[in-house]
Structure formats: structure tokens, C-alpha cells
Structure 1
Amino acid sequence: MKILLSNDDGYQAPGIIALYEAIKDLGDVEVVAPEHNNSAKSNALTLYAPLSVRQANNGFRYVNGTPADCVHVALTGLLGYRPDLVVSGINNGANMGDDTIYSGTVGAAMEGYLFGIPAIAFSQTQKGWAHIESAARKARELVQHLVGAGAPESSPWLLNVNIPNLAYEELKPFQVCRLGRRHAAEKVISQTSPHGETMYWIGGAGPAKDGAEGTDFHATAQGHVSITPLKVDLTDHEALRAWGRSVPGAREAAGA
């Protein structure tokens, strides 16, 4: 088993170190992660600047780019082989509901998925790395199960996993659930620079809008580890026929 490990918090983050230590004996684990924190970079690729790859003293390789850059570079030339699994995390904070659209953690895993490789994104629900060893232990359990032929036959697949910041003994079983939804983000924070210019900081994520039973928000609030299978198709399939009727001269494409 060959596993590519990445994240969005940077190669020195406690989450990726704990996850590496937890899964390193499950196969050949190669770390290629961002040099610096790249939270909320989603699937962004660096197209107009060169990327460099360096190696840290612990053997981790790091890239001066985004999480997706790291996985893309690894898969298209750096590794020289095709890994069996791409794992991303453990992220410092939740990636639930709408977070998955912006998440660099999910973006790194999704890059592997787009290359046809099964992938998992792991996050803790609260920032601060509390009980990170417990989260890593739970992540190991899932990886070990999936690489032991426990995954569905369809491949590739992409999983988004959120782990409550609890002691291992307090964590409840895995729960497969859908994504919830958040309210709109909080207001931007404005400041005045020393030169008198107004600067803006993006506000925090809003609270849960849809945290009903069956969602990742509800599962993790109850102490469960949430697992949500993701897909990339953004097509609004239910609306295809309506748009075909609404646009003059348009018709629904065969096979749509």
C-alpha cells in the first residue's frame, strides 16, 4: 500500500505529524505538503509562478504552493509512481457543510480523486489541536479498514471526515451522513493601516443553518465521527429540463 499524505495547514502542523505517526506502518507513506498554512485555498493551482519542492529533516517534502499543488506535483512527476490512496489532514478545525467548497484540506484530497485515486480528508471539529492523538488514532482505524478491502467496490471515492475534539474513549462510532449547511459568513473586519488605508479581513464562518439529524453537524455534535462521501459533479440535474424549456431554441442534450 502506497499512501500520499498532504494537508493545508503546512508540513509542520501538529495534525499532519500526528496522522503520519498513526498511519506510517500501514504502508509506504510519502508526505508532500504546503510550506505554509494554505487554509481556504480549495482546489486552487499555481499557474503563473514556479513551484519548488524541499525536504525537511524528518523526511517530509514541502511545496511553496497550495494543497492541490502539492498533490498535483506529486502525482504528475515528483513521486514517480501512482499511490493507492491520498490522505489529507488532520485539519485544524471543522470542514463541514459549505466549508468543503473552500477547504484546502478537501481540495488536496479531491485532487487525488480527480486523478482517479481514492482519497480521504480528515479534520477536527474545533481549532487548537486538543486530543489530536485521539483523532489520529480514529483516522488510522478508518484508513486501516478501507485499505483492508473495506471500501465499496466503486472507485475512486472521496470521503470527508470530521472528528470531535474528544478523548478516544469518548468518541462515538463512525456515522455516515450528508453535508449540512451554514448561514452566511460573519461580517468582514476592517482596520486602518499605518498609511491610512482601509484593510479588510474575511470574517469567520457562520453557524449551522441545517444541522438536522442526518447531517455532519448533528453527528459530530453528538460525539460521532462523521463520514460524508463527496462527488465533484456540480450539474443541477433536476433543473436541466426546466432550463431547456426556458431558453429559446435550447434543447436538453442527449445523455444529460
Structure 2
Amino acid sequence: MRVLITNDDGIYAPGIKALAKHFAAFAHVTVVAPDRQQSATSHAITLHKPLHVDEVHIGANIRSFQVNGTPADCVKLALGALCDHAPDLVLSGVNSGANLGLDIVYSGTASAAAEAVLQGYKAIALSVTKPPFDFTSSVRIAEKLAHELIKHSLPADTYLNVNIPPLAYDQLKGIRVTRIGVRKYKNAYEQRKDPLGRSYYWQAGQIVNVQNEPDTDVRAIEEGKVSVTPIHFNFTNPQTLVTLDSWQLTL
């Protein structure tokens, strides 16, 4: 098995190191990840400055590169230039923090997996939802899902978004296949002063609790279960197509 691993927490984050070291025991692993924290960069790519790549060491039998770009940059660069061979699978994570509900719109972790499937590769995004960030359970879940995804096919442009509760493996309540739930945030910005007396703002939004249906990723995590959500890139709203047709738009 050939595996490309990336993340949005940076190449030296504990989650990516744990994942790479676990897979290096039985797979050919290449790591291409940002050289710094890139959370909430979504699917941004770099167009107006050069991408610099440095080979680094994060573990034995792991070919590793850091890039001064976004998670999506890392995947595009890895698949286009850095991988010796095409990977069988792309793994993004393990992220320190949840990517539930519409978090995936902002998530660099999810967007790296998205870029992989847009390039025609199988991909999984993995996140541990909250502290303590012990990645022992998450890498075992990743291995289990990786073998299943290698054996089976998903529809085109579909990746798996996986969230894991911060529990020991034998304390997990199971795995649930889910749909995206609802996770809302109350926007709040703290106004502060820099050393020169200029005002700046620091985002300090808080999660607003919303009751979710049993088949959602948010509910699964609340129940101590691993959530596995298939994410697909068809942004068209089919019901609204009919509505728009009824407007009889003309020039």
C-alpha cells in the first residue's frame, strides 16, 4: 500500500506524526504537509508566490516534505511533483479538533481530502474531536478504514470525513455512518490594542448547542461513537432547479 499523508496543523503536529509512524509499519508512506499551522484555510491554493519545499525527518521509513503553502497546495504538489509513485490512498490528519457539520467548509483537513478526490484519488479526513489528543485510537480507525477503502470503491468526487471521540479504543461505542449535522457558532470578536495602541480584533466565537438527529455526525460523537460521513461535491440544489425553471428567465 502506498499512502500520501497531509494535514492542516503543520508537519510537526503530533497527529500527523502518529498517523505516519503507524502506517510506515506496513505501507510506503510519503508525507507532504504545511510548514506551519494552516487551520481554517479551507480549499485555498497559492497562485501569486512560489511554493518552497524542504525535506525533513519525522520518523524512520517516512519520506517527508514541508511546504510553505496550504493543505490543498500540499496535495496538489505531492501528486504533481513529489510522490515517486501514485498513492493508493490519501490521508489527511489526524486533526486536533473536530470537523463536524459545516466545519468542513472551513477545514484545511477536509479540504486536503477534497483536493485528493478531485485529482482522482481515494481519500479520508481524520479528526479527534477534543482533548485529550491521544491518537492511539484514531490511527487504528484510520488503518481499518484504509483497508476497507482500498478494497471498495466510492462514487466519484467522494471522500470520507471521520471524527473520533477522545476515548481509548476499547471505550468507543462503535462506528456510525452519518450525514452532516448542524454545528452553529455565535460570532464574537474581542477588540484589543497592540503595543502601538492600534485596535485589532480577535475572533472568539462559541459553539451554540443544537439538537441533532441520531444519524448525524454531531450526534454520533455525543454518544461516544466514531462518525464516518461520505462527502460529495455536487453543490447543485436539484429542487431549486425546478423553481428557477418556473421563473422563465430570458434575456
Same fold (TM over 0.5): yes
Q: Is 1:239 matched up with 2:243?
A: no
Conservation of the 8 A alpha-carbon contact between 1:182 and 1:207: yes
Q: Is 1:9 matched up with 2:12?
A: no
Q: Superposed, which structure 2 residues align to 1:208-227 within 5 Å?
A: 208-227=209-228
Displacement of 1:205 in angstroms is 5.0
- 1:134 aligned residue: 137
Conservation of the 8 A alpha-carbon contact between 1:164 and 1:225: yes
Displacement of 1:157 in angstroms is 3.2
- 1:101 aligned residue: 105
Displacement of 1:247 in angstroms is 5.5
Conservation of the 8 A alpha-carbon contact between 2:117 and 2:156: no
Distance 1:184 1:214 in 2: 21
- 2:198 aligned residue: 197
Displacement of 1:86 in angstroms is 0.7
Conservation of the 8 A alpha-carbon contact between 2:177 and 2:229: yes
Give % identity. Answer: 40
Q: Is 1:60 matched up with 2:64?
A: yes
Displacement of 1:248 in angstroms is 3.1
Displacement of 1:20 in angstroms is 1.1
How many residues matched? 247
Conservation of the 8 A alpha-carbon contact between 1:8 and 1:89: yes
Map Cα deviations across residues 130-150 of structure 1 (whole Å, 9 max, x no partner): x22122222222213322x1x
* SS in structure 1 at match of 2:210: strand
* SS in structure 2 at match of 1:172: coil
* SS in structure 2 at match of 1:206: strand
Distance 2:8 2:217 in 1: 21
Q: Superposed, which structure 2 residues align to 1:38-187 within 5 Å?
A: 38-58=38-58, 59-129=63-133, 131-147=134-150, 149=151, 151-152=152-153, 154-155=155-156, 157-187=158-188
RMSD over equivalenced CA pairs, Å: 1.7
- 1:254 aligned residue: none
Map Cα deviations across residues 45-94 of structure 1 (whole Å, 9 max, x no partner): 01111101101123421101100000011111222432111110000100
Conservation of the 8 A alpha-carbon contact between 2:194 and 2:200: yes
Conservation of the 8 A alpha-carbon contact between 1:180 and 1:210: no
Distance 1:153 1:192 in 2: 50
- 1:25 aligned residue: 25
Task: Provide closer, same or farther for how the CA distance between residues 22 and 57 of structure 1 changes in structure 2, counting only shifts above 3 A.
Answer: closer
* SS in structure 1 at match of 2:148: helix
Distance 2:248 2:186 in 1: 33
* SS in structure 1 at match of 2:146: helix
Task: Provide closer, same or farther for how the CA distance between residues 153 and 132 of structure 1 changes in structure 2, counting only shifts above 3 A.
Answer: closer
Gaps of 5+ in 1: 251-256
Distance 1:216 1:173 in 2: 13
Which contiguous aligned blocks of 4+ residues in structure 1 show a shift greater than 3 angstroms?
A: 152-157
* SS in structure 2 at match of 1:120: strand
Map Cα deviations across residues 3-41 of structure 1 (whole Å, 9 max, x no partner): 110000001000001111222234211100000010001
Distance 1:172 1:26 in 2: 27
TM-score (norm 2): 0.92
Structure 1 counterpart of 2:138, one-letter code? A
